[in-house]
Amino acid sequence: MRRHWILWSVAALLAVAAVCLILISAKIVREASREEVRPVDAIVVFGAAEYAGRPSPVLRARLDHAFDLFQQGVAPVVITTGGSGEDPNYSEGGVGRDYLMRRGIPERNLIAETQSSDSAQSAQRVAVIMRANGMHTCLAVSDEYHVFRIKRLLEDQGLHVYVAPRLGSRPHTRWQRAMAVLRESVSYLLWRLHVPV
């Protein structure tokens, strides 16, 4: 009898988790195409891989999108995020800042967050930077399926957040899109449950 109760309990928990993931996935897909461009205090570019001081294609595309937004006068400051990976000589945030400087954004308009190791840490450190500089609103730039989660991470830090997903950043095949959405859904659910990943 007790064994049946345990099995039913596990099945019920799995069913609840599955429903939660489906609902979160639907929100991720819906927000992926939402462009909320408006005047803000800062544009925040979430990091991606860098290769020996050069941005990866994904990071470069995010930075180019942020550059275009800066050129439109959306914000006076761009914050790039991301710590060091395997190469301690470079950080994603530092590489992003340097790339945008080479594209023509003055150094005084750039801030690099270089210590975070994941999106949640990036959000925490960005919030500290923004509060220290009297900033309260931001436009978060990342890939389409990532913006749902980073918006909530930044809002959890007390910021007013809008998103500007990098268009064309969804994976090409249906399977890849499903896996990307599932990964984001699980990451978000674990964060909401305060489970370290």
Distance between CA 64 and CA 122 in Å, rounded? 20
Percent of the chain topping pLDDT 90: 58
> Given this model, what pLDDT does residue 113 score?
96
Residue 100 lies in a domain: yes
Confidence of residue 197 (pLDDT cuts 50, 70, 90): low
Q: Give the residue, 182 or 6, on which the prediction is more confident.
A: 182
pLDDT, mean over the chain: 89
What lies within 8 Å, CB to CB, of 146 at 6+ separation is 46, 119, 165, 184
Does residue 5 lie in a domain region?
no
Q: Which of 14-18, 100-104, 128-132, 181-185 has the lowest mean pLDDT?
A: 14-18
Reported as a single tens digit per residue, the pLDDT across 135-166 is: 999 999 999 999 999 999 999 999 999 999 98
Whether residue 91 is contained in a domain is answered as yes
- What pLDDT is attached to residue 195? 72
| pTM > 0.75 | yes
pLDDT confidence of residue 169: 78
The larger pLDDT score, comparing residue 24 to residue 90, is at 90
Model confidence band, residue 39 (pLDDT cutoffs 50, 70, 90): very high
Of 67, 42, 64, the closest CA to residue 55 belongs to 64
Q: Which domain holds residue 148?
A: 32-169
DSSP secondary structure code for residue 173 in this structure: S
pLDDT value at residue 150: 95
Task: Please state the domain count of the chain.
Answer: 1
Encode pLDDT of 56-110 as tens digits. Answer: 999 999 999 999 999 999 999 999 999 987 778 899 999 999 999 999 999 999 9
Under the banding of pLDDT at 50, 70 and 90, the label for residue 1 is low
Q: Residue 124's closest CA among 112, 113, 134?
A: 113
Q: What is the CATH number of the domain that holds 88?
A: 3.40.50.620
Supply the pLDDT for residue 61: 94
Distance in angstroms (rounded) separating the CA atoms of residues 53 and 90: 6
Q: Has residue 18 got a pLDDT over 90? A: no
Strands (E), the chain: 42-45, 50-51, 54-55, 78-80, 110-112, 137-141, 160-163
Q: Which of 67, 69, 57, 71 is nearest to 168 (CA)?
A: 57
Residue 69 falls within a domain, yes or no? yes
Instruction: Kindly state whether residue 24 falls inside one of the protein's structural domains.
Output: no
Strand-strand pairing, 54-55 and 50-51: antiparallel
Residue 19: inside a domain, yes or no? no
Q: For residue 108, how far is the Cα from the chain centroid? A: 24
How far are the Cα atoms of 50, 118, 192 from residue 189, in angstroms, in the given order? Answer: 28, 15, 5
**Looking at the predicted structure, is the pLDDT value of residue 118 above 70?**
yes
